[in-house]
Structure 1
């Protein structure tokens, strides 16, 4: 796959590390766990959206945009990184935040809310749960156009075929690292939310003939709802790349048992995962995405889905700034759901 024909900005120097986690492996008592450190990607505090934004922002600049518009939840890592990319490029940025949990937005909160203000967001619009986010962002673009400006709308999570191309590039990067390390990975595990990361990795692995299953842990939906979304983005990404390989519906695998009671609401399995990763490897997870995804990784190891003797690669998609908005449940000072 020749990705060099697509416009791209570069926000990270070199490859992110691919490391073995010996103490975490011992703690889960199962397969050998490796980690791809995409929490160390460029832009403010890193995370998987950086890879997507390399292609999305390049497209925005090619279209002459002066303002990036995107959306997310009130502690959105994607919004933080989109804003950071705008700062890097000398663009403005406007955010539409969805209160998926009523009353949860606090402009004075820590975590990403603090960083939105520190980075100089131009305007934040807060909307209630269930709002049509595409329409809400479209209204922001219309406001800008009325002032003679040009906005570029980036979907939630940067999850379209352009953004997912960033994780096709990541699949190529992983392929090179595995070759250089002489490492045979049996399965890959990743958080599956807006789906661009999951779909991009799946498309890239199939396009590179890696024959490594990609297993997603849903952070907001069960498989019957999540799998079709991942599959559709993967198909659109493959079409954009001109891939000849088929991406079957059966190649999309997700588990939905670890995100409840609601998106972004803490649970005990997440707290265990965040604590275990911090105390065995000194690596921070976030409570909304990676904490619940690693809870799924741990659960699937304990259930024998990931088997002893296998090599499993977990892709760390970042998000640690959001951790600081959830200190009480993480420290056991606030009751969480089982």
Structure 2
């Protein structure tokens, strides 16, 4: 196991998140035994995988004397919600720069204001949690460039802002999932469980990269299969590999073999956050068999990928698959038309 104690860290969750067997889903699919890692139960407002990243990112910000956080994402960004919740827990200012959703066919709808966000889901929570500012830009805008410009403006006012990239996905943020890999290996040993695969949503890449690095550091060869939510395989895998390399370098580890990075792009549909029939089926199936809610953007599409891979025979009856629930359920209430 790699030592993470040299890195400053805050604590937002009381103990490990549950690892649960899904017997009814497993029986329904007639394939592998499926388990779920419940990172939807992480701390901060409504939980989700970004909480693990923020434990390291916010600690880094505080160690550098920051008094304000700036981050970016979509109008229904789980990461923005949790960054804002962490800022409230720490007494920091927080500024959000978000982009409008794509249109229903996966194309932009013109200039900013053409597709205004609805006051529901995470966008509602931005207001309830009292963001110091929320700026909504058109889809495809240079969000990080705008964040850096805002940081310069705040510095001119005597503030000390700290900019967090989309999804909290940089080497510091990925440490949260290096730690999660260690947590899961301990749980596997306690449950006398020998997973043959871990399946995870793959978006901004910090979660998958951190898991790959953490397993590599522990000498585990369990494959991590990413199900892409926004990009093709050819576009996503280099993004993950770059973050794997930079995170391993930060931890002074031996290089991670390139073949450890697998991210399937068959389940994105017409674009990020746009519904697919497989997603709606997966959300309904897991809700009705196990009483567990998934979100339509990340875990819904990843579960659709898992279900399809079982039906294709890629995961068979001799396999044990662990699915990562990355949270995001507030987004479900902003996308109800997908289930109408």
Instruction: State the 1:129 CA deviation.
Output: 2.1
The runs of at least 4 consecutive aligned structure 1 residues that moved more than 6 Å come to none
Q: Which residue among 297, 301, 306 is the counterpart of 1:292?
A: 301
Query: Partner of 2:135 in structure 1?
Result: 125
Residue 188 in 1 paired to residue 188 in 2? no
Whether 1:105 aligns to 2:116 is yes
Matched, 1:199 2:209: yes
Cross-structure match for 1:282? 291
SS at match of 1:216: strand
Aligned positions of 1:1-338 closer than 5 A:
1-101=2-102, 102=109, 103-106=114-117, 108-244=118-254, 246-330=255-339, 333=340
Deviation per residue, 1:242-263 (Å, 9 max, x gap): 112x212211111111111111
For 1:29 and 1:74, how far apart are their aligned partners in 2? Answer: 38
Q: Distance in 1 between matches of 2:258 and 2:163?
A: 29
Which residues of structure 1 form unaligned runs of 5+?
334-338
Alpha-carbon contact 1:216-1:255 (below 8 Å) kept: yes
Q: Distance in 2 between matches of 1:48 and 1:11?
A: 12
Give distance in 2, aligned partners of 1:134 and 1:113: 19
Unaligned 5+ runs, structure 2: 103-108
User: What is the TM-score when the length of structure 2 is the normalising length?
Assistant: 0.95
C-alpha RMSD over aligned residues = 0.9
C-alpha separation in 2, matches of 1:121 and 1:279: 36
TM-superposition CA deviations, 1:21-70 (whole Å, max 9, x none): 00111122211000000000000000000000000000000111111100
Cα offset, 1:100, TM superposition: 4.0
What displacement does 1:328 show? 2.1
Distance 1:113 1:132 in 2: 20
Could you tell me how far apart the structure 1 residues matched to 2:304 and 2:31 are? 14
Give, in whole Å, the separation in 2 of the partners of 1:136 and 1:291.
30
